[in-house]
Amino acid sequence: MSFPAKTVLYFSFYMFALSLTLLLAPALTAGLLGYEPESYIWIRLIGMFLLYLAFDYYQAARQNMRNFYYLTVYTRASLPLFMTTFVLLDMVKPIFIALSMIDFCGALVTFIALRRTRR
């Protein structure tokens, strides 16, 4: 498996873990993010979509879908911008900026891996 594929594979494991936490323990997640119990259904829905996305990342890594890796770099790297905007508009709590940095760092590692293997 190529270095870029491994970065996407490992990121899929993070997404699997996060999605299962959102699906199976929404109270824990809601408490950490500062939300009330009535948010549980939305947390579970996000967990479901994240689980589906994790499967896509996993399969893309297994199939060495290099074009997909580039796409993930752009989308994951943009997340802090969106979260900062949402925080400034008072739509989400500031912790979402910190959480979005996980995606940004994953995108950076994938970008570096793609650059190294291109040479």
Q: pLDDT, tens digit, for every residue of 24-40?
A: 988 888 887 777 777 68
At 70 the pLDDT is 95
Burial class (CB within 10 angstroms; exposed 0-12, middle 13-18, buried 19+) of 5: buried
CB proximity list for 96: less than 8 A, separation 6 or greater: 33, 83, 86, 87
Does residue 43 surpass a pLDDT of 70? yes
- What whole-number distance in Å separates Cα of residue 98 and Cα of residue 107? 15
At 106 the pLDDT is 95
Question: Which of 77, 85, 90, 82 lies closest to 34 in space, CA to CA?
Answer: 90
- Gyration radius of the chain's alpha carbons: 15
- What whole-number distance in Å separates Cα of residue 92 and Cα of residue 26? 17
Q: pLDDT, tens digit, for every residue of 48-94?
A: 999 999 999 999 999 999 999 999 999 999 999 999 999 999 998 89
- What whole-number distance in Å separates Cα of residue 47 and Cα of residue 16? 9
pTM for the full predicted model: 0.86
Q: pLDDT, tens digit, for every residue of 13-25?
A: 999 999 999 999 8
